[in-house]
Structure 1
């Protein structure tokens, strides 16, 4: 395989098992669904609300609560959010719910960013002719024109837990500013409280670690401190509990398992024999310099071996990456020059490799790495290191896992503390980790490695009980996968659920409500929701 075909190969790699299942398979699934569920007999659905009052349901959260998917906030995504799905179930006869109002974006494709020539980009779809995700033509979001006082969904894409009561959020986040009751003065929490909720869902905290991970672990400050996380959580939940409303609080899923961190493999570089030989010849100087540093005892032989670059003909060569946690060898390369062990020209050639190494199976390239791998006159990730922002290194994976585990234990601690107060149990904690362990086919070892659970033996056992080692879940005989394939439950951005994923989340909450409040509310039909959008 020639170097110029590398980028095409990478998108094909994303396609294998993910994209190339084709539109025909999705249509076949829809046809099968219709065959299995004939329409003639329609029975009115009823339910009961048990011990919880659902007349005013309010959802508080970030992009998932808002229905952000496929890299954008758009009309169909909003309608498919787990919050809206719950809102519709609560309106079933006998349950007592009322209209669930959202800050409608009124845009078919939504807005995901600015493209070439200042074009407006919308949601992404899977274009099988590339193959890969492709943006549609988008629209800049307009201010919400509806009645802000009657809103139920307070999901704000990009919101961290520390932003929930910050009046400055509207100044930095236009997706809150467009429906804030008083931009610059009001907060998401104050707006939600003003509606006098009788029941709420609260799912915040993902972005307090996810922003760091999506950025390739470049900025440690992107992880919210545990103290700030706890203060914001305790303050907001205490105020919600103080209204007398009952609520559901969600834990955080294992972020590093998201398709955004799994679609591009660490060894995604294909090379034919000629290119492998040429690259090995080019890297002979770097490898010799590393041996020289080891001989001078400036680095260990193990360090030299970790950084050496050697390619072979085949499809699975490791990506060459920048790792900011490595020692900067610049001064030591200078020492080789000073000792006349290398020439000035050779020293200049070593400059890009001061903190580089081949990736290992412990490193997680992010989804956007596929857009730059193999590009350029000196192919990125092959001849020169790919930038730090495109790979979550092993150390950065540990930081992400640790932060998420700490936040989850904090969530449990705050909920337990509030429930131990004079008002009794007013919050139901819904742990999403067992469902994710099942979906991603984890085993006990991975449950431990990813620090799943809530810090107690019982919570860890609950996760392990669902970790069956089988990838995906089966619903009514249909296998659903933890990816953005036609059978997947994630959208094309690799982070947010698609409508089927949202239905699974809604049903997880409904199950908890049956246990906690004795409600009799039917599940959302997961397979009636669409999967990904394919072009």
Structure 2
């Protein structure tokens, strides 16, 4: 059985390509002012959302569209100083991706190949040219490190190349850490910031979400050194790290903006793949129902024996029908363990589950080429492919707690808050920007190609999305610090990364 779920709608126009803004946004105007802010030395702390990460990596051209880089250009109109980002000049082919000792360790950037009958995101062909062993050993104004969690900003050795292979170091920070024992925050402070943005904390919950909840909620565990890469950070660990970061950034009198963490339910990575994408003919539906008959019968025995409720038995019963709209089958570890009866924890997905974006190219594939072993149909999807309600609840609780901490610490220091969580939620129904355009949180289709703010990885903004982020930060700066900074025109920035062939 071939995969019946199409990743993207067909993009028919080969002439659509990413392009540079048609005109510069740095318009000189005598009414602009810094207000109460001092932009002489601007430093940005954060993770991938700060670094300019999009389409699954950081690349030479895409990095130039990072929201801090856009902000710095506007700050320059009112006395802002030089703003340096980690160098990507060795990304000579603009592919992104890293090498370690000549071996590729991260993927190249995603592109939308419209040369295929069914276009979908795929890594651009080519070998990365950036080797992380070529150290830059330099502190930059943009200290956004993809993958960094709150406590990583304070972690000595996070830029030590010896720790990359065992997951104790970050290849992005390895490239430019000033020493193997340097910290992200320590390097940032060598720039003597007078103004900063801090958008850290997303990965403290997002890594768990993108893993399909395969990580652990570390609530109550105060030792982050024991955490796995996909775990949710304990709220007290987060609060301690965040407080230290802000106390340090403001120690010299710097002002700044902090940003809240978006809830994952607002981004395409979790909202694009439907729970019921499986079309079946009558014969296949009948064969599948026969295949699950023993499992369904076992559930009835478990119910009659008082091991599960009638409600759970109904929830776990797997039934297919002829036609479209069949729900995928999944493993749900929150179900009652009936292993003693030889019954696995299977059920069909519902609208309350969130399938991750990569599942769209996995559902309908076969196991080892066996046409009877169909992933997501006769073979239930493993934990990593779906967020179940209990996992979604854990994510929401952590996000709410982290955002409360961010706002409280910001208030105690008199800092401005860019509520990116609220902004991302507006995208669900349509966010109208100052240029009149309405943007959404949908993934790409022919109809919405120019109005989507997310890149092809479904998590990070595209260049246009980062311009919208920059504008939201400018708004709160103007309001909080009585500045008069001009906003940029988001529509003049590139959207989807499209190639005619790959």
1:329 is matched with 338
Structure 2, gaps ≥5 residues long: 164-168, 219-230
1:483 equivalent among 426, 435, 442: 442
Cα distance between partner residues in 2 of 1:472 and 1:324: 37
1:90 is matched with 75
Tell me whether 1:15 sits opposite 2:8 in the alignment. Answer: yes
Comparing 67-76 and 138-147, the one that deviates more: 138-147
Larger radius of gyration: 1
In terms of fraction of residues, the more helix-rich structure is 1
Tell me whether 1:393 sits opposite 2:378 in the alignment. Answer: no
2:475 equivalent among 494, 505, 511: 511
1:255 is matched with 264
Tell me whether 1:165 sits opposite 2:154 in the alignment. Answer: yes
Matches within 5 A, 1:75-114: 75-92=60-77, 95-106=78-89, 107=91, 108-111=94-97
Tell me whether 1:363 sits opposite 2:372 in the alignment. Answer: no
1:208 is matched with 204
Contact kept? 2:98, 2:104, Cα under 8 Å: no
Tell me whether 1:431 sits opposite 2:419 in the alignment. Answer: yes
Contact kept? 2:99, 2:130, Cα under 8 Å: no
Change (3 A) 1:167 1:146: closer
Matches within 5 A, 1:112-511: 121-128=107-114, 129=116, 130-136=118-124, 137-139=126-128, 141-143=130-132, 148-149=138-139, 151-170=140-159, 171=163, 172-183=169-180, 185-220=181-216, 221=218, 222-333=231-342, 354-376=344-366, 377=370, 378-417=373-412, 419=413, 425=414, 427-441=415-429, 471-473=430-432, 476-485=435-444, 486-487=449-450, 488-511=452-475
Contact kept? 1:482, 1:489, Cα under 8 Å: yes
TM-score, normalised by the number of residues in structure 2:
0.86
Change (3 A) 1:411 1:315: same
- Give 1:433 shift: 2.7
Cα distance between partner residues in 2 of 1:373 and 1:484: 18
The SS at the match of 2:110 is strand
Cα distance between partner residues in 2 of 1:25 and 1:200: 40
Change (3 A) 1:121 1:138: farther
Contact kept? 1:72, 1:112, Cα under 8 Å: no
Cα distance between partner residues in 2 of 1:499 and 1:286: 49
TM-score, normalised by the number of residues in structure 1:
0.81
User: How many pairs align?
Assistant: 457
- Give 1:372 shift: 1.9
Comparing 220-229 and 122-131, the one that deviates more: 122-131
Contact kept? 2:137, 2:179, Cα under 8 Å: no
Tell me whether 1:60 sits opposite 2:55 in the alignment. Answer: no
Cα distance between partner residues in 2 of 1:113 and 1:276: 47
Contact kept? 2:98, 2:130, Cα under 8 Å: no
Structure 1, gaps ≥5 residues long: 334-349, 420-424, 442-470
Cα distance between partner residues in 1 of 2:12 and 2:57: 23
Contact kept? 1:298, 1:332, Cα under 8 Å: no
Contact kept? 2:279, 2:326, Cα under 8 Å: yes
Cα distance between partner residues in 2 of 1:72 and 1:194: 27
Cα distance between partner residues in 1 of 2:336 and 2:251: 52
Contact kept? 1:59, 1:83, Cα under 8 Å: yes
Contact kept? 1:483, 1:494, Cα under 8 Å: no
- Give 1:30 shift: 8.0
- Note the alpha carbon deviations across 1:344-363, whole angstroms, 9 max, x for none: xxxxxx5xxx1111011110
- Give 1:272 shift: 1.7
Cα distance between partner residues in 2 of 1:267 and 1:218: 22
Contact kept? 2:51, 2:145, Cα under 8 Å: yes
